[in-house]
Every structure is written in C-alpha cells, then in structure tokens.
Structure 1
C-alpha cells in the first residue's frame, strides 16, 4: 500500500473512533438527562414542594433508575427558572456510564495500524527506498527485493537520475553523457524516456516528469 494511502487509513480510523466516542457520550447523556428529570419529578411530587432538603435529595437518589448515578447526581438551584431545583451530573460520571467499547476497539486498531505504518516506513528507509525502488549492487529492486529488468541504456539513465541529489537532470546533461558524439540526441532521448516510463510506473510509485522537454526527473506519485 502506498504511504499516502496508509496515512489516510490511519486518520480515518482516528476520526471514526472519535465519532463513535462522541455518539456514545451523547446517547448516554440523553439517557442520564431523562433519568434525572423523572427522578426529580417524582421526588418533588412526593414532597409536594420545590424546596430542596436532605429528604428531597434522598428521595431523588432513590428514584434514579441508572444505578451509576446514585450518589453522583446533585441538585442545584436554577435562578433563571424561579429558583427551581435542577439535577446535575459531572462529565466524568457520564463518561463512566458510556459504552466506550466500540471506540476503544477502533482506537486499538488505529494504534496498531500506526505502529505498522511506522515499522514499514523505517524498514523502507533502511533499504534506501525512494518511491518504492532501491539501487542495490548496481541493480534496481522494488520493496520486495525483486529486480526491475531494464535495458543497459534504461539502467544508465535511471542511475543518473537516481544519483542526482534532486533526482532531476537537464536534457543536455543526459544527452552529453549518454550520447557524447551525437549532435542532436533529442529524439533518441525522447524514445528512451517513453519506453522507460511504463516500466518504472509498473514496478514503483515513481514517475518520470518532463519540464517542457528541458529537463527530466523522478517524482513520487
């Protein structure tokens, strides 16, 4: 798999895990709000008063259907609504009640995938790969160590581009090196490039780019 695709998969897993976590939290938050409301309504109905007392809190907790809320929910006074009592619970309590197992599974997958991508990147870097190719013992091999079959002229041109610090050379540099005695080797170079391109693209993530016929270079797709 191309490196950019691996990164896309990693971010997709992270986003999916975050979305699942948020969905679980929102679902639990809604259930908690409904339970708090019904417990408060029953408690106030029993005592037939809006005044909060120790008995109110005790009755409120006894009517909570979600066991994890008992002892963690509190009653506050809402000054914007005629000083009516309002149940509250902390974010940590809602998180503790949420079913986060699906998101944990996806987070684990993202972590494992990230470690795999890191291992693959280090392995390829150790091989001296560039765009899925490596030059070893005078021959080009792919990431699996399989040799890419090139003609002598293709091999020479690839080595020139490969060993260039920028992986790019001018047309004149290439022609002067490969055909020093030929007055105009433009057509010959064009034919060589045209035949080399599909071979390189088939066995690697590289492509040969031309800058208006003035220069040629290797670039990762």
Structure 2
C-alpha cells in the first residue's frame, strides 16, 4: 500500500479527533458557565451555602440548558471549605456537544480505512523466480539466494527486467539496444560495458550467468 494512502488515513483520524474534541470543549465551557450561574442564583435565592433538596430544585430551575436538568450534580469541594460545586459527567457533555461534523469525518475515515485494506489485499506481490534470483513485480526488486536485495543501477534493472519478461530469457542485441538506447545509432560499446558490469552482480547473488552468442544475442542462463 502506498504511503500516500496511509498519510490520508492518519490525516482523517487526526482531523476527526480534533473536530470532536473542539466541539466537546466548547460544550464543556457552556455547561460549566450555565451550572455555575445556576448555582450562584440558587444560593443567592436561599441565602445559604447548605445543599438541600430545595437547593437542587432551585438549581435545576435556573439551568438554561434544558438537557442538564436532572443530569447536573451538586457536590461539595472540601479544598475550599465545604463549598458547593456543580458537576456534570463527560458522557452528558459529550451527548450535548454537536458531533455531526465529527461523525461525518469519522465515517469518511472508516470508509477510507476499508479502501486502504482493499487496496492492500489487491496488491498481492507477483513473484518470479529463476536460478535462485527472485523478482517481485509489485516492488520491482530483485532478491538473491539469501533473500538479500540485489542493488542495481536503473539501466541494469531495466535489462534484468527484460530478461525476466522474456519467456526464453534470451534477448537479441537489437532488442536490448532499441529498448535502452532508442536514439543511439550504435550502442554496441555501451551494451558491452553494461553486460560486463552486470555479470558479476548476477553471479554473486544467484546461480545464473549471462552468456553471449557472438555478441548477437544474450541469454540469462541457469548454471
């Protein structure tokens, strides 16, 4: 699976989380302001800091957010003496917050995640093996006898792919030159140098050899 897909997935996750958290925090501030104001008005009306059943009724009556009535709590904060303090659960605040945009983004995240899984399953590596040398068409990489990646120059890579794509693993000089140097009139010396440098790499990592038919054709041969 390409890195771009993963980057988009993480971007969607982060964006969805931030939108959800931002909405939660905004609602939390509104809830705390409403509860604090309702408590202040309730204590002012009863002219006492003692919490009773009447305090709770008055407190609920002063709450502006209707959904808080019956869900907001009055607790005692012992850090500042026996001071009443309003409290509301995270679940209640989350339920009150507007999560519609966040839900849309989370839905998009889930769909993109499923797409990434489908894409990953679809990209099953196609592997060709010959003479101990393995070629992965998906990654466009060659691997040697011990599973190590064979490092090739772009031109060496292209030539090796041509050898592997050929059913007989045999290529004529003309086929190679036309594919690698289409604008060059005579690429004989360039081809000779390419083959000379490629031979030891192939022999080091596999049981293969590149043989020549008097310079007219080259064959990737299993020894």
- TM bin (shorter chain): 0.5 to 0.7
Unaligned runs of 5+ in 2: 128-136, 142-155, 166-197, 215-223
Equivalent-residue separation in structure 1 for 2:125 and 2:201 (angstroms) = 30
Instruction: Summarize the alignment of residues 124-203 of structure 1 with structure 2, pairs less than 5 Å apart.
Output: 124-125=123-124, 129-131=137-139, 157-158=160-161, 171-174=199-202, 177-180=209-212
Name the larger-Rg structure: 2
Q: How many residues align?
A: 157
Equivalent-residue separation in structure 2 for 1:180 and 1:46 (angstroms) = 104
Pair 1:18 & 2:17 matched: yes
Contact 1:17 1:107 in 2 (8 A): yes
Equivalent-residue separation in structure 2 for 1:113 and 1:6 (angstroms) = 8
Equivalent-residue separation in structure 1 for 2:157 and 2:212 (angstroms) = 16
Equivalent-residue separation in structure 2 for 1:30 and 1:159 (angstroms) = 67
| Residues 33, 161 of structure 1: alpha-carbon distance in 2 compared, 3 angstrom cutoff | farther
Instruction: Summarize the alignment of residues 94-105 of structure 1 with structure 2, pairs less than 5 Å apart.
Output: 94-105=93-104
TM-score, structure 2 as length reference: 0.62
Instruction: Summarize the alignment of residues 81-120 of structure 1 with structure 2, pairs less than 5 Å apart.
Output: 81-120=80-119
Equivalent-residue separation in structure 2 for 1:118 and 1:7 (angstroms) = 10
| Residues 29, 157 of structure 1: alpha-carbon distance in 2 compared, 3 angstrom cutoff | same
| Residues 24, 181 of structure 1: alpha-carbon distance in 2 compared, 3 angstrom cutoff | same
Runs of 4+ in 1 over 4 A off after TM superposition: 126-129, 153-156, 159-162, 179-182
CA-CA distance at 1:81 after TM superposition: 1.2
Aligned partner of 1:48 in structure 2 is 47
Equivalent-residue separation in structure 2 for 1:65 and 1:27 (angstroms) = 16
Instruction: Summarize the alignment of residues 50-65 of structure 1 with structure 2, pairs less than 5 Å apart.
Output: 50-65=49-64
Unaligned runs of 5+ in 1: 134-152, 163-169, 183-221
| Residues 14, 154 of structure 1: alpha-carbon distance in 2 compared, 3 angstrom cutoff | closer
| Residues 173, 27 of structure 1: alpha-carbon distance in 2 compared, 3 angstrom cutoff | same
Equivalent-residue separation in structure 2 for 1:56 and 1:154 (angstroms) = 82
TM-score, structure 1 as length reference: 0.62
Pair 1:5 & 2:4 matched: yes
Aligned partner of 1:186 in structure 2 is none
Equivalent-residue separation in structure 1 for 2:9 and 2:83 (angstroms) = 48
Deviations 1:51-106 (A, max 9, x none): 11100000000110111111011111111112110001111101110111111111
